[in-house]
Amino acid sequence: MPMQPASTEITSRTAAIIQELKGLEGPLLPILHGIQEEFGHVPHDALPVIAEALNISRAEVHGVVTFYHDYRSHPAGRHVLKLCQAESCQSMGSDAVAAKLKQLLGIGFHETTRDGSVTLEPVYCLGLCACSPAAMLDGQVIGRLDDEKLDEIVAEVRS
Amino acid sequence: MIPRIYIPGDSGALALGAEKVAKAIASELAERGIEAKIVRNGSRGAYFLEPMVEVATANGRVAYGPVKTSDVKSLFDSGFLTGGHHKRWLGAPDKIPFLAKQTRLTFARCGVTDPLSLESYKKHGGLNGLTNALGLTPAAIVAQVTESGLRGRGGAGFPTGIKWKTVLDTVGDRKYIVCNADEGDSGTFADRMIMEGDPFVLIEGMTIAGIATGATKGFVYIRSEYPHAVAVMNKAVEIARKAGVLGASVLGSPNAFDMEIRVGAGAYVCGEETALLDSLEGKRGMVRAKPPLPAHKGLFGKPTVINNVISLASVPVIMDKGAAFYKDFGMGRSRGTIPIQIAGNVKYAGLFEAAFGMTLGEIVDEIGGGTATGRPVKAVQVGGPLGAYFPRALFDTPFDYEAFAAKDGLIGHAGIVVFDDTADMLKQARFAMEFCAIESCGKCTPCRIGSTRGVETIDRIAAGIEPEKNLALVTDLCNTMKFGSLCALGGFTPYPVMSSITHFPDDFKPAPVRVAAE
């Protein structure tokens, strides 16, 4: 697992991100995206810093962070694999793809392998519905998943 | 002349290996010492042919596809740079039947031009609409959009011109144009294609909207699942700003308009316009009660036009060629063209822009070519996760807002997902409820709690526990959700559920009967 930065470091790096984005209209989501990009998740210690800077309560910040699926409270694995589970992919057998991947990786959805190599997540549509079933590995899109492509994905995340 | 090779950078094409093909072509060019320009265009939308590589020849463009990296050497050997014959040869792209049958107005440039070349955009008719708009009064622009009959392409089908007029007529010290690019419906990818393949058309449409309503600031709210679209839009805004299309003086006029790209954070409900506004403001994406309408009190309480990507991207062609030209396409109260997205288990999947009025059967069987698996079509879901499942018996329904509503369905964002006869409609109905439970913002009880109870009740039907009684319960629950929810998430989840129950009753019969029936 990656080392967690100390809270003073979180505070200073968070403050720098806030400083850069504070001037935007409605800056909270861009700030949270910036923090997640910086730390790989939204550390708990960052919340009071944001609340203070934007003059809102910590509860409000917490409410926003927990509302959106994207924000993580803990770091993900080194790779993040998002597997589409929406209707178009369902029509092309995404259930079976999910079952096979879970078996190959030994984890379920929203879980990270014990070696920290990969986090598996369901996603509801990647806009790749004309080449279902689809997935996204670390931002790279993959369409028409088949056994061969699944093996390639597993090999890549394990390497 | 240096040869030009077009290799799509569209994420659908990338998902099918376009990047590897581009690299292979680049290295082959280097190896053979050939000088050529590689253009990363958008996709024309024929995804069954992607990655589709095109070359510009003296006789026009010639397409090859679907190209695999293993084809690259032989393509060069066959002289593809001058249109030579090869097993992947498709000929002139606009003669490919899937593309030749379309009426491309909104998507005229998508897949043709270099998405990030403003020169190329202008050469293909770009900025004509904005230039015309700058010569008109705001009221005249609004009148033209109203006259065109353009209706919101996001799903609700509300007349775009009327929305704009409300904002124009509302007094405000600051007004906003918000583009809803939170395209979360499964089976839809038109917004993504336009943003990746012709971003300037959206920028132009938003700028026209700004001038028409007196708004000076625009936001595009793009879902985070679309990182490629976000990247292209950011670059395009930068280019447009430098070229003076955006900024304090739009194309040298006294009008100011600028815009920002914002990224969502994985909440489906933010595709609902008022939840999207809350999200832009930095709040939880909770649905607002209407009134007040966003046109009166929208983003930060200011008058706001909120339109879908395709609605805004359709405006430039209307302002370029006139309301009458656009209105001439279509049927009934559904005017113009609609980019139909044919997806799921279908042979020829892709984007098909056509005038309203084709029947569902024509789209699925003739254009889509039936299922990819070769099995019979059992059901098609039109309009995303909140759209109804239609059986073959309803394939004569014309693609038109009112015709679909009359059959208890909706066009939505015009995505069609095809299922073959292995689909279990009880499972699909259960998923609709489950999805609603996952994505509910929690404001309305029927949506928040009803969806969970819906999953449980459908599970009881599947287990054969008092099926008749539980079916009645689901029906009653759907009725409560439909009329007791503020937005379409809770309000429309009953469409897929009830259409499954109505059109595919056998799938809801107790398990022993279902097994016996097979």
Enter the ipTM.
0.96
Output the CA–CA distances (angstroms, integers) from residue B122 to B63, B200, B208, B316, B352, in the order listed.
Answer: 23, 10, 16, 12, 24
Output the CA–CA distances (angstroms, integers) from residue B221 to B130, B156, B204, in the order listed.
Answer: 22, 18, 16
pLDDT score, position B1: 76
* Alpha-carbon distance B323 to nearest alpha carbon in chain A (angstroms): 31
pLDDT higher than 90, residue A1: no
pLDDT score, position A3: 59
Q: Which amino acid is at B325?
A: F
Residue B28's DSSP bridge partners are none
Contact B11 A25 (CB under 8 A): no
Gyration radius (Cα) of chain B, Å: 24
- Full 3-state SS string of B282-314: CCCCCCCCCCCCCCCCCHHHCCEEEEEHHHHHH
pLDDT higher than 90, residue B513: no
Rounded Cα distance, B462 and B457, in Å: 9
B495 interface with A at CB cutoff 8 Å:
no
pLDDT score, position A7: 82
pLDDT in tens, B391-416: 999 999 999 999 999 999 999 999 99
State percent of chain B over pLDDT 90.
97
pLDDT in tens, B446-458: 999 999 999 999 9
Mean pLDDT of chain B: 96
Rounded Cα distance, A100 and A95, in Å: 9
Contact B285 A128 (CB under 8 A): no
Partner residue opposite A143 with nearest CB, options B16, B279, B345: B16
Please check whether residue B184 is in contact with residue B268, taking contact to mean a CB–CB distance below 8 angstroms.
yes
- Which element (helix H / strand E) includes B38? strand B37-39
Q: What residues 411-430 of chain B have any CB closer than 8 A to a CB of chain A?
A: 415, 417-420, 423, 428
**CA dihedral (A113, A118, A119, A122) positive or negative:** negative
Hey, where are the domains in chain A? 7-67, 79-158
Reported as half-sphere exposure (CB side, CA atoms, 13 A), residue A114 has a value of: 1
Q: What residues 132-191 of chain B have any CB closer than 8 A to a CB of chain A?
A: 183-189, 191
Contact A30 B262 (CB under 8 A): yes
Partner residue opposite A67 with nearest CB, options B45, B284, B419: B284
| Helix, strand, or coil (residue A38) | helix
Token code pair at residue B153: 């392409």
pLDDT higher than 70, residue B515: no
Partner residue opposite A134 with nearest CB, options B15, B226, B262: B15
B181, B186, B187, B191 alpha-carbon torsion, rounded to 10°: 10
Contact A29 B265 (CB under 8 A): yes
10 Å Cβ neighbour count for A1?
A: 11
> Best interface-test mutation with A: which of B262, B417, B425 has the largest number of A CBs within 10 A?
B417
Domain A79-158, CATH 3.40.30.10 — does that match?
yes
Reported as half-sphere exposure (CB side, CA atoms, 13 A), residue A116 has a value of: 7
Rounded Cα distance, B179 and B400, in Å: 24
pLDDT in tens, B292-324: 999 999 999 999 999 999 999 999 999 999 999
pLDDT score, position B400: 95
Phi-psi bin for B161: left (phi > 0), alpha (psi -120 to 50), beta?
alpha
- Closest residue of chain A to B15, computed from CA coordinates: A142
DSSP state of B92: S
- Which element (helix H / strand E) includes B381? strand B377-382
State percent of chain B over pLDDT 70.
98
B341 interface with A at CB cutoff 8 Å:
yes
pLDDT higher than 60, residue B467: yes
* Alpha-carbon distance A61 to nearest alpha carbon in chain B (angstroms): 8
Q: What residues 88-147 of chain A have any CB closer than 8 A to a CB of chain B?
A: 88-92, 123-132, 134, 136, 139-144
B283 interface with A at CB cutoff 8 Å:
yes
A12 interface with B at CB cutoff 8 Å:
no
**Domains present along chain B, CATH in parentheses:** 4-100 (3.40.30.10), 118-327 (3.40.50.11540), 331-420 (3.10.20.600), 425-517 (1.20.1440.230)
Residue B185: list chain A partners with CB under 8 A.
125
* Alpha-carbon distance B265 to nearest alpha carbon in chain A (angstroms): 5
Mean pLDDT calculated for residue range B340-348 = 98
| Helix, strand, or coil (residue B376) | coil
Q: Which amino acid is at B374?
A: G
Contact A70 B266 (CB under 8 A): yes
Partner residue opposite B47 with nearest CB, options A63, A123, A130: A130
Partner residue opposite A92 with nearest CB, options B48, B183, B344: B344
pLDDT higher than 60, residue A4: yes
Please check whether residue B191 is in contact with residue B309, taking contact to mean a CB–CB distance below 8 angstroms.
yes
Cα angle B402, B408, B411; round to 5: 55
pLDDT in tens, B15-71: 999 999 999 999 999 999 999 999 999 999 999 999 999 999 999 999 999 999 999
pLDDT in tens, B149-198: 999 999 889 999 999 999 999 999 999 999 999 999 999 999 999 999 99
pLDDT score, position B182: 97
Token code pair at residue B151: 């209706």
Please check whether residue B193 is in contact with residue B343, taking contact to mean a CB–CB distance below 8 angstroms.
no
Output the CA–CA distances (angstroms, integers) from residue B374 to B271, B378, B416, in the order listed.
Answer: 34, 12, 17
Partner residue opposite A26 with nearest CB, options B11, B282, B384: B282
Q: Which residue from B139, B200, B201, B211 is spatially nearest to B169, judged by alpha carbons?
A: B139
pLDDT in tens, B273-298: 999 999 999 999 999 999 999 999 99
Residue B52's DSSP bridge partners are none
Rounded Cα distance, B480 and B482, in Å: 5
* Alpha-carbon distance A156 to nearest alpha carbon in chain B (angstroms): 16
Contact B282 A27 (CB under 8 A): yes
Contact B225 A127 (CB under 8 A): yes
Residue B45: list chain A partners with CB under 8 A.
130
Residue A29: list chain B partners with CB under 8 A.
262-265, 279-280, 282
Residue A131 known to bind ligand:
no
- Closest residue of chain A to B343, computed from CA coordinates: A130
Partner residue opposite A130 with nearest CB, options B227, B262, B343: B343
Count of A-B CB contacts under 8 Å = 152
Token code pair at residue B122: 């202008």
Please check whether residue B442 is in contact with residue A114, taking contact to mean a CB–CB distance below 8 angstroms.
no
Rounded Cα distance, B5 and B37, in Å: 6
Model pTM score: 0.96
Residue B417: list chain A partners with CB under 8 A.
87-88, 91, 129
| Helix, strand, or coil (residue B478) | helix
10 Å Cβ neighbour count for B464?
A: 14
Mean pLDDT calculated for residue range B458-481 = 97
pLDDT in tens, B100-135: 999 999 999 999 999 999 999 999 999 999 999 999
DSSP state of B337: E
Contact A88 B184 (CB under 8 A): no
Q: Which residue from B263, B274, B329, B279 is spatially nearest to B156, judged by alpha carbons?
A: B274
Partner residue opposite A130 with nearest CB, options B285, B349, B423: B349
Token code pair at residue A142: 């993959």
